[in-house]
Amino acid sequence: MDIILLQDIEKVGDKHEIVSVKPGYARNYLIPQGMAIVANEPNRSKLDDIKRKELEELAARKAEFEAIKERLSGKVLKIGAKAGTSGKIFGSVTNVQLAAALKEQFDIDVDRRKVKLPEDIKTLGTYAAELLLHPEVDITINFEVEEDK
């Protein structure tokens, strides 16, 4: 069954993409949850209008994302984690913790799915992550994982 995704869905596709999924998954989960619509002719013709409106909205918010980039440049985010004597932390640092730290330390509200970590972070140290807020604005966050006391 062909559907048009209304939001990014991991392992299925990106927003406004036409994908083929099993009919039961589409009818019983994606469409009732408001994550997708059926890719029939009327909806396919509306898709161009929806994309255009969203691009205009995203272009209007570009200045906001540039301001966030300026606020974060040169700053280091501090993440506390419990660690053993060898510097290995218990568990790992996730994008959820980074989004919460951004909110707490810089008052920047970011969806956790927009934070991309380069690797699994399981030791103390300094790392960099990407914020995928706008296609034309690359935001790199430097963060330091330090031992919680």
Work out the end-to-end distance of the chain between its first and last CA atoms, rounded to an integer number of angstroms.
53
Domain 64-147 has CATH 3.40.50.300: no
pTM of the model: 0.70
Cα(97)–Cα(123) distance, rounded to whole angstroms? 15
Q: Which residues contact 99 (CB under 8 A, 6 or more apart)?
A: 110, 111, 112, 115
| Fold of the domain spanning 2-60 | Ribosomal Protein L9; domain 1 (3.40.5)
Q: What is the pLDDT along the chain (149 residues), one digit of tens a residue?
A: 999 999 989 899 988 899 999 999 999 999 999 999 999 999 998 998 888 888 888 888 888 888 888 888 888 999 988 988 888 999 899 999 999 999 999 888 888 888 999 888 999 999 999 988 887 888 889 999 998 86
For the chain, give every domain's residue range: 2-60, 64-147
- The whole-number pLDDT of residue 61 equals 85
